[in-house]
Amino acid sequence: MPKIGMEPLRRKALIDATISAIGERGSLDVTMSEIAGRAGVSSALAHHYFGAKDELLLATMRHILAELTADMRRALRSASTARERVSAVVAVNFSDVQFRPETIAAWLAFYVEAQKSAALRRLLKVYARRLHSNLLSGLTGILPRNEADRVAEATAALIDGLYIRRALKDGVPNAATAIALIEDYLETKLSRRSAQ
């Protein structure tokens, strides 16, 4: 008989185990049995909670996005100027929670899998729209809309590119360096505007 109240804890343990397994393997080539073992539950229980592995992968991606969204909301609430909003968006994407090796590897694996999975592709589109919108929430207070759109798109591409390079164990060595690179780009774009 299942223990009352254990389902949320076990689901979370399975999601955490999925992130860990993907991070270690560097791909989605992990089995439900392997994930269940890491989570300390049976494979049958993992299937009971999530059905197929694809559903667990989708739940894991939703979890990562939910954490990112919650972190972003907190950061944006504490930003008092348009410029601080833009920096908050950048900083959250490279926070200790978001820029962990296993989370970075999971993002890369999800990007690859989204080429085959319509559900994952939809989630990645949601992420891209939110990132663009969050960047625009600050940039439109500084730049004209069309220019703010371009700077937001380029900043989002820098964030994604730095994640990819880090997942491939190339490029910037840490989050502080990644943030500094993006802030340099933003300062260049914004200082050109104020000089006009």
The DSSP line for 6-55 is HHHHHHHHHHHHHHHHHHHHTSS---HHHHHHHHTS-HHHHHHHHSSHHH
pLDDT (tens digit per residue) in 36-66: 999 999 999 999 999 888 899 999 999 999 9
pLDDT for the residue numbered 177: 93
pLDDT for the residue numbered 193: 66
pLDDT (tens digit per residue) in 25-37: 877 888 999 999 9
Question: Would the pTM of this model clear 0.75, i.e. be above it?
Answer: yes
Count CB neighbours of 100 within 10 A: 14
What residue segments make up the domains of the chain, in order of their start?
58-195
pLDDT for the residue numbered 1: 46
Residue 152 has pLDDT above 80, yes or no: yes
The answer as to CATH 3.40.50.300 being correct for domain 58-195 is no
Rg of the chain over Cα atoms, rounded to whole angstroms, equals 19
